[in-house]
Amino acid sequence: MSLPVLEARACAAAGQSGLMALYEAMFTQYSTCTAQVLVTNLDFHDDDKRQNLNSTLQELLRMNIVPIINTNDAVVPPPEPNSDLQGVISIKDNDSLAARLAVEMKADLLIALSDVEGLYDSPPGTDDAKFIDIFYPGDQQSIIYGTKSRVGLGGMEAKGGTSVVIANGTHPKVTGHVITDIVEGKKVGTFFSEIKPAGPTVEQQTEMARNTGRTLAALHPDQRSEIICHLADLLTERKEEILAANKMDMDLAANAGHLPPAMLNRLSLSPAKLNSLAIGLRQIAVAAQDSVGRVLRRTRVAHNLELEQITVPIGVLLVIFEARPDCLPQVSALAIASGNALLLKGGKEAANTNRVLHQLTQEALSMHGVTEAVQLVSTREEVEDLCRLDKMIDLIIPRGSSQLVRDIQRAAKGIPVLGHSEGICHVYVDADAAIDKVIKIVRDSKCDYPAACNAMETLLIHRDILRTPLFDQIIDMLRTERVKIHAGPRFASYLTFSPSEAKSLRIEYGDLECCMEVVDSMQEAVDHIHKYGSSHTDVIITENEDTAEQFLQQLDSACVFWNASSRFADGYRFGLGAEVGISTARIHARGPVGLEGLLTTKWVLRGDGHTAADFSEHGTMKYLHENLPVGQPLPGQRDSN
Amino acid sequence: MSLPVLEARACAAAGQSGLMALYEAMFTQYSTCTAQVLVTNLDFHDDDKRQNLNSTLQELLRMNIVPIINTNDAVVPPPEPNSDLQGVISIKDNDSLAARLAVEMKADLLIALSDVEGLYDSPPGTDDAKFIDIFYPGDQQSIIYGTKSRVGLGGMEAKGGTSVVIANGTHPKVTGHVITDIVEGKKVGTFFSEIKPAGPTVEQQTEMARNTGRTLAALHPDQRSEIICHLADLLTERKEEILAANKMDMDLAANAGHLPPAMLNRLSLSPAKLNSLAIGLRQIAVAAQDSVGRVLRRTRVAHNLELEQITVPIGVLLVIFEARPDCLPQVSALAIASGNALLLKGGKEAANTNRVLHQLTQEALSMHGVTEAVQLVSTREEVEDLCRLDKMIDLIIPRGSSQLVRDIQRAAKGIPVLGHSEGICHVYVDADAAIDKVIKIVRDSKCDYPAACNAMETLLIHRDILRTPLFDQIIDMLRTERVKIHAGPRFASYLTFSPSEAKSLRIEYGDLECCMEVVDSMQEAVDHIHKYGSSHTDVIITENEDTAEQFLQQLDSACVFWNASSRFADGYRFGLGAEVGISTARIHARGPVGLEGLLTTKWVLRGDGHTAADFSEHGTMKYLHENLPVGQPLPGQRDSN
């Protein structure tokens, strides 16, 4: 069946009225009037026509009427066949019309929506094609336009002060948002810019970090230790420089006046803080001696075929931290110790301090030629944009509030996130609890540092304790410590006059507040924690060993404690040395995470021409699978042999 | 400032014309005409009016005109104040009008779009609120309608054969798709159904699995072993039952005629297959003795304060597998051995076999009262719907093609996925390679099982080998084995007559095909693999130990081999016993994964009233952090002391 040949211009003219009706109806929803303007490219060659068009459009805009401008298809010459060939940019009428108009009207921004994401540096889909976020016309020679490029570039050189963005207008997930996203400055499509920024893009930074990271991983452990020790030295030797930068940040924050005192306190550095930071770094330098390349398992698979499982760095880490600048050298040292490349993104409040601390880190790294292994990402980069680099970043570690962690977990598409999202920790006071331990542990769990994720949020008490002297003592202690109590529904029902009822049994107060609830038994306490807890840290206080062991065994949390404060859930207190963070994830690392949380493993097999076929039914070889000594002890086992 | 009081009906009437213009313009885009119909609830009380309305609407539909029906606001009584109170369902005019019309017109489906997701069993946002996918009006008493419920339910009891779906029409990510999604039967919003299905929902299954899984995890390792051994017995004792079900599946597949022979082969079971399956299960039963509750680390934190890190199950696993029904008992045994709850989703081709195998698994589980720990999910459930259960499922393990794995990685929102996504494995033939080893290893890596993920896809050869007898021998061997060669760009440039050029250097052929490329050095081979490989398994063949060790050290893949076939990358061949799969992820588990890939850890701290304050500057205690013997040896270290 042959279709009738349609004349393109006639078709376009026929569609025009329906299109205008749609525009008008849509804009009516926003109480905005529209006007139809039809022009041709030829109109621009005539100065009078151009001026008329210009004043008409200006007048429409002045009246808050949105002009819908289109090619006057009926009067233009017939379109040429599509000349979209390799190496040739096709210039479509609409694109060049838009560009001419934008320049003529001195528009601030021209947004060209099509069905492609934007520009790539080679034909999309080929091995090396990379998307271009920001395009500088001066770079044009580096671009190869492929047969798949359907976006015209007529006049899109961002001339005359008009910026240009080419983006996909058909993507179902962004349609309706793409224009507002672009206007808000989000990274959507390709932005044509006249000004080339001095620094590298975040993609280039990530690539540099990954490449240099491989060299870092190949250094001798002693060399990684040396870098960390050198950084520790620089923190004290160059403290004036650091403190001067910190003062700038502090002054800016004070002038802006929006930071609460606790935040200012975390932002500020002092010679004492730098000293203790340096001491911490030297501890990490020691741990660095025995992290990468540790043999975890060694197996003789067959004669002359030996397998080793060894620790290796994860790859490229992205660490996002808030106002605390002391995070920067600490996290850098952890990454260096574990041979990982690192992208750092700090809060903008600490921008000056972070810049100096990062310079010192790179200075230390330069002693073994791995300067670029740690990169500081511009504070303008948004977390969502960094999370787009899912093929280049292997692990994200947020260090900060649980709100930050939750935001990042939501934004991280496919990139694993290591971090606690919530710490709804429970202390369960059993019927057989000793009074002195209850008072000590409950006080410490709630009051030692109420904002910590390992602080108690819910106090569960056995029913038998109600109306006993122990109960009164607990309440008295909490009152003395000014802890505000919220009653769980059962607890409230037992009291004549109860405190205000808890809005939910799943609240992380993070302050001198807690929920109190009554349970009938240890089993009910376990069920309550499974239902409302966050599997972070939960405590039982009892003198009954059987009850305690049942609780420790049954409860499915990262940390389960018997007669000890929840505040012990901490890498340093656990004796893990440097702490990466506390993870509530169920895979990779759980609970307080030491340096090994930044390591993965690789399998090394050394043979002598072995093939799988050698071991087949008719083959000549047999599997031995003999465990061999690993040579080096595992961490935590040094004294065990 | 007080706003003028607007009369609601006047406002509604004023908006009507704009709304209709929008509808008309939108439908015009699909070349569809619309008609405006205004009615009131009172029109339904008059039989004549009702019949007139009915025939008008039928006639419009017959003419392919879409009626847009609305309340004739101008003539209805003034609206009552919103009576949306706890326990009371508010009936909005539009909702009840839609319901009446749907029944009157005998509509197949009524879709009510609003700004809420659908129905919850308690007020949304409260501790226990659960979303209801399918609502049976008979269950109505179990629903608590809260103040936040803004969806009317007037007449929405799915009566008269009209099905009803309430869904969110404002969600940016689904707008434009929500109607087609509902019509395609996807799980969007709440579906009101008259028929209550016999089985539990997948949410209920997951909850049962999690709860029973906790009991399974608390069993003695011997008991978990017994269950697995019993299942192994059942596989041979009840083979007639299994094979009869399998014959049904085979017959159905043969009749449908759409399964390729390789697939049919994987679908079919035999007494021999069941026997070897039973043998494998007994091996897993042995491994189960030493998986859960193993002490990995023991530390004396302080006097009377002892810390243990022990292995525990991950929680709830979701395993998705394709046509192979033998996967079911194998995966079940792995989950039971590691104390994990399990949701199984098998291919629909094996539905009958899977049902019988699952019954036998539950029969084995029942011996220790944990029947519900392993659940078979209906084949109708879509993977995307299962991935919505992100708060209830801890790990997804796809077992099947890399396409399946990729699909699931895309669908899994926030749930970790354990599985290889691609195996683009390289063999690099160094200048110092021994000819016999090259021929043996290259043949085995490519030809032993070309569809495996650990088969060679790219052969890299050192430039010095070109035009040597070794080169000719490699080509001859590949020709004899009928391996189709695709030339990389450099390789092609060296040859007068080259094979067809490879479309990309990043292809997993999975067949008797491979890419061949030339490199200048071992270093260039490493760079090539980093750029184009998938970090699965890569091999160097050389007699030069220095070159080999450099390659093994520098290359960042899960498995790096020297003079051994890539086919050794396999849990059984590595001596890990039961294999969970091969992971190309960089965290948790990497490379071939044994039972320990299904375990996580928990920290158990036993104290005597210890608090963090005891260790403060003015406290009475000091951290010891003394490593203690772990009691049980770690796997792979049995013979090392």
Spatial contact of B425 and B564, defined as CB atoms under 8 Å apart = no
Phi, psi at A494, each rounded to 5°:
-85, -15
Question: For tokens 């240099």, what's the residue?
Answer: A212
Which of B591, B554, B585 is CA-nearest to residue B573?
Answer: B591
Contact A301 B553 (CB under 8 A): no
Angle between helix B271-287 and helix B239-256 axes, rounded to 10 deg? 120
Lowest-confidence segment of A54-68, A400-414, B299-313 by average pLDDT: A400-414
Q: How far apart are CA B115 and CA B488, in angstroms?
A: 55
Contact B607 A561 (CB under 8 A): yes
**Residue recorded with tokens 């085995």:** B444
Q: How much is the pLDDT for B142?
A: 47
Please give the Cα distance from B493 to B499 (Å, whole number): 11
pLDDT band at A43, cuts 50/70/90?
confident
Q: Strand B581-583 relative to strand B591-593: parallel, antiparallel, unpaired?
A: antiparallel
User: Which residues 522-541 of chain A have a CB within 8 Å of chain B?
Assistant: 530, 532
Q: Are B345 and B325 in contact (CB under 8 A)?
A: no
- Chain B residue closest to A25 (CA)? B22
- Cα A623-A627-A633 angle, rounded to 5 deg: 155
Per DSSP, the three-state class of A17 is helix
Pair A311, A601: CB distance under 8 Å: yes
B chain contacts of residue A630, beta-carbon cutoff 8 Å? 636-637, 640
A289-301 mean pLDDT: 93
Look at residues A440, A564, A544 and name the one whose alpha carbon lies nearest to residue B304.
A564
Side-chain-side CA neighbours of residue B392 (13 Å) = 20
Q: SS in 3 state form for A385-451?
A: HHHCCCCCCCEEEEECCHHHHHHHHHHCCCCCECCCCCCCEEEEECCCCCHHHHHHHHHHHHHCCCC
How many angstroms separate the first and last alpha carbons of chain A?
85
The backbone torsions φ and ψ at residue A630, rounded to the nearest 5 degrees and listed phi first, read -85, -5
- ipTM rounded to 2 decimals: 0.84
Q: What is the rounded CA–CA span in Å between residue A549 and residue A461?
A: 18
| CA-based nearest distance B506→chain A, Å | 7
pLDDT at B139: 59
Chain B hits for A126, CB-CB cut-off 8 Å, are 504
Chain A residues touching B635 at Cβ < 8 A? 297
Q: Where are the beta strands (DSSP E) in A473-583?
A: 484-487, 513-519, 537-541, 559-564, 581-583
Phi, psi dihedrals of residue B486, rounded to the nearest 5°: -110, 130
Closest CA–CA distance from residue A604 to any residue of chain B (Å): 5
Answer yes or no: is pLDDT of A145 > 50. Answer: no
Residue in B448, B506, B603 nearest the CB of A127? B506
- Binary contact (B21, A26; C-beta < 8 A): no
Query: Which of these ranges, A196-205, A551-560, B131-140, B628-637, has the smallest mean pLDDT?
Result: B628-637
Model pLDDT for residues A218-250, shown as the tens digit of each residue? 999 999 999 999 999 999 999 999 999 999 999
pLDDT tens track for A478-503: 999 999 999 999 999 988 887 889 99
* CB-nearest partner of B567 from A217, A600, A612: A612
Q: How far apart are CA A354 and CA A374, in angstroms?
A: 12
B95: its two tokens: 């909702």
Which H/E stretch holds residue A221?
Answer: helix A221-237
pLDDT of residue A4: 54
Q: Rounded to whole angstroms, how far apart are CA atoms B400 and B322?
A: 6
pTM (two decimals): 0.84
* pLDDT one-digit tens code per residue, A561-612: 999 999 999 988 998 877 888 888 888 999 999 898 999 999 999 999 999 9
CB-nearest to A177 from B172, B437, B610 is B172
Query: How near does any CA of chain B get to the CA of A555, in Å?
Result: 9
Q: Do B560 and A434 touch (CB under 8 A)?
A: no
> What is the arithmetic mean of pLDDT over A56-82?
79
- Nearest by CB to A301, which of B301, B562, B575? B575
Residues of B whose CB is below 8 A from A612: 444, 448, 565, 567-568, 573
B406 touches chain A (CB under 8 A): no
For chain B of 641 residues, list the mean pLDDT of each consecutive stretch of 10: 60 74 82 85 81 89 89 69 41 71 86 83 79 74 42 46 82 66 81 76 90 95 97 97 96 85 87 92 91 93 96 95 89 96 93 96 98 89 78 89 81 81 93 97 96 94 95 96 96 87 93 96 97 96 97 96 97 84 88 91 96 92 92 42 32
What is the rounded distance in angstroms from the CA atom of residue B512 to the CA atom of residue A35?
63
Residue B50 has what pLDDT?
A: 85
A339/chain B closest Cα distance in angstroms: 12
Average pLDDT, chain A: 85
Interface check A176 vs B, CB under 8 A: yes
Would you state the pLDDT for residue B200?
84
Which of A316, A319, A315 has the alpha carbon at shortest distance from A331? A319
Using alpha carbons, select from B94, B92, B193 the residue that is nearest to residue B149.
Answer: B92
How far apart are the C-alpha atoms of B457 and A107, rounded to whole Å? 53
Mean pLDDT of A66-76: 80
Q: Average pLDDT of A13-28?
A: 79
